[in-house]
Amino acid sequence: MRIRILGSGAGGGFPQWNCNCANCRAVRAGESGFLPRTQSSLAASANGHDWVLLNASPDLRRQIEQNPELAPSGNDPVRASPIKAVVVTNGDVDHVTGLLTLREAQPFTVYGSARVLEVLAQNRIFNVLSPSCVERRELPLDTPIALKGAGADLGLSVEAFPVLGKIALWLEDALKANFGSVEGDTLGLKITESESGKAFFYIPGCAGVDAALASRLRGAALVFFDGTLWRENEMIEQGLLGKTGTRMGHINMSGPDGSIAAFAPLGVARKIYVHINNSNPALNAFSKERREAEAAGWAVGEDAMEVLL
């Protein structure tokens, strides 16, 4: 199975269009140690021809150009795409708006929770994905299903499971508990190659590693995990946004409550951070925070990084 990081950044990307923080300044200036990052998405393929996208980011058009495997080629018909399916983990702007890039009457299947499919149905702009060619399928929880699209069986299954988190920012209801979030508003995915049984996890948004998630991940071969923040308060400290990680529904990397500590006893063979916010000091390849993450066995994801499983 081939797994490609299309975008390793969080919402806004790196640099973010309106951000003049130290990291964004450094990456704009091309300083060594800083790589630009597009927004949150992965792609996976069992046969190297048919691909599933895990989330569809606003940068998808550029990501397809950066990853030629995702573009038509060779003897393909005049209209063709290797992208046969898209699985979305929540309703974040960084995870659904790339669906609009996939208009132009190309068949594929969108998989999402009932609540995310409802969001797509209520926002009529998504009708550019005509129901006559783009199928929408509900992702059941805790039940693996075979991934299919445009007449192809991808040779992969997806199991969606709820993780701690929050409803998408733009869907928050200030009057309701946890802003109107219900279980399943933030999903993790387990993708399994049918033939080999090899599997990886993709969890780009997660507010905490509870006992259920820890037992699910114990001994896993490969996990892509929420790397939004280094510290709970870093956005406030940098004057970027008056919100903590907890308020945003994202666990931080460092400290006793962070993901580095939570994963330490789990024996995960390969751990890669994705959905990394531009405020995160671990984006700097020469920072002490990067050294600390790497010393704990983590890799900081980069765009176009490929992992073979």
Q: Which residues bind Mn ion (CB under 5 A)?
A: 11, 92, 94
Q: Are 149 and 173 in contact (CB under 8 A)?
A: no
Q: Measure the CA–CA gap between 197 and 290, rounded to whole angstroms.
A: 32
Cβ neighbors of 56 (< 8 A, separation 6 or more) are 41, 86, 88, 95, 96, 97, 98, 99, 101, 102
Tokens of 135: 């199928």
- Please name the amino acid found at residue 87: V
Q: Are 151 and 126 in contact (CB under 8 A)?
A: no
- Residue 169 site contact among Zn ion, ligand MLT, Mn ion, none (CB < 5 to 8 Å, cut-off depends on kind): ligand MLT
Segment near Zn ion (CB under 5 A); pick from 23-31, 130-138, 281-289, 300-308: 23-31
- Residue 241 site contact among ligand MLT, Mn ion, Zn ion, none (CB < 5 to 8 Å, cut-off depends on kind): none
Distance in Å, CB of 305 to ligand MLT, minimum? 20
- Residue 248 site contact among Mn ion, ligand MLT, Zn ion, none (CB < 5 to 8 Å, cut-off depends on kind): ligand MLT
What are the φ and ψ backbone dihedral angles of 177, each rounded to 5 degrees?
-60, 135
- Bond before 256 cis per omega within 30 degrees: no
What are the φ and ψ backbone dihedral angles of 200, each rounded to 5 degrees?
-135, 165
User: Within 256-295, which residues bind Zn ion (CB under 5 A)?
Assistant: 278
Q: Measure the CA–CA gap between 160 and 155, rounded to whole angstroms.
A: 17
What are the φ and ψ backbone dihedral angles of 286, each rounded to 5 degrees?
-105, 10
Nearer residue to ligand MLT within complex by CB, 199 or 213: 213
Which whole-number Å values give the CA distances from 70 to 44, 48, 166, 274, in the listed order? 10, 10, 31, 20
Distance in Å, CB of 243 to ligand MLT, minimum? 9
- Residue 24 site contact among Zn ion, Mn ion, ligand MLT, none (CB < 5 to 8 Å, cut-off depends on kind): Zn ion
- Per CB under 6 A, residues contacting ligand MLT are 10-11, 92-94, 169, 205, 248-249
Nearer residue to Mn ion within complex by CB, 166 or 216: 166
Distance in Å, CB of 24 to Mn ion, minimum? 17
Q: Which of 19, 60, 164, 229 binds Zn ion (CB under 5 A)?
A: 19
Distance in Å, CB of 113 to ligand MLT, minimum? 16
- Residue 93 site contact among ligand MLT, Zn ion, Mn ion, none (CB < 5 to 8 Å, cut-off depends on kind): ligand MLT
Distance in Å, CB of 93 to ligand MLT, minimum? 5
Cβ neighbors of 134 (< 8 A, separation 6 or more) are 102, 106, 107, 108, 109, 110
Q: Are 228 and 280 in contact (CB under 8 A)?
A: yes
Distance in Å, CB of 250 to Mn ion, minimum? 8
- Residue 3 site contact among Mn ion, Zn ion, ligand MLT, none (CB < 5 to 8 Å, cut-off depends on kind): none
Nearer residue to ligand MLT within complex by CB, 10 or 83: 10
Q: Are 281 and 275 in contact (CB under 8 A)?
A: no
Nearer residue to ligand MLT within complex by CB, 120 or 150: 120
Residues contributing to the site for Zn ion (CB under 5 A): 19, 21, 24, 278
